[in-house]
Amino acid sequence: ASSVLDVFLYFKDSYLPIMPSIRPQVLNDVFQQAADQARQKLPALTQNQQVARLYRNGLKVLSSWAIDRDIFNEEATKLRARFDAERGCNPGKALRLLREGEDELFSYTHPDPYRNPVMPGGSKFMRNPPLPMDVCFPDGNYPKDAPNYEINPDWSKATPENGRAGTGYVLVDFGKKNME
């Protein structure tokens, strides 16, 4: 009778760990329909807005990797110089640089990015959420100083204009640590 350790020692030279392939998770139809209702329609962004978002996301990824503020400032200056060096290039090159930048950002993404503690994915997220007004005042007689707006999970005002509560629902994805 051989133990598991004996079998492992026998096969240790030829043992190669088999990593599971990364594939999209398939959700059932009901959950997919609910998620589609909660997701907001993404606005069409101009090229300048896409570049600004790429730069901002690059700084966020950099803040996850560089804990020391001096190192962060030095690397952020280098990142800004890279963006400024390509300012004013032709649209074809700009589109290529934008795609390459998104690919580079994806490759540098931190496995456990820094999150603000009170935002989705943070340690204090929804620790003390405000009660709905109909729970506080079941008879419907709201005081004059009571807020007449709803609050999103990130504590911003929920309005149709800000895009987060246009449908009345907000999907908080704890796997990706974001709101959709």
DSSP string for 29-95: HHHHHHHHHHSPPPPPPPHHHHHHHHHHHHHHHHHHH--SHHHHHHHHHHHHHHHHHTTT--HHHHH
Q: What confidence tens digit (pLDDT) does each residue in 69-105 have?
A: 999 999 999 999 999 999 989 989 999 999 999 999 9
Q: What confidence tens digit (pLDDT) does each residue in 119-176 have?
A: 777 788 778 777 777 788 888 888 888 877 777 666 677 766 665 555 556 666 666 6
Quick one: which of 134, 116, 135 has its CA closest to 125?
116
Distance of CA 138 to the CA centre of its chain: 36
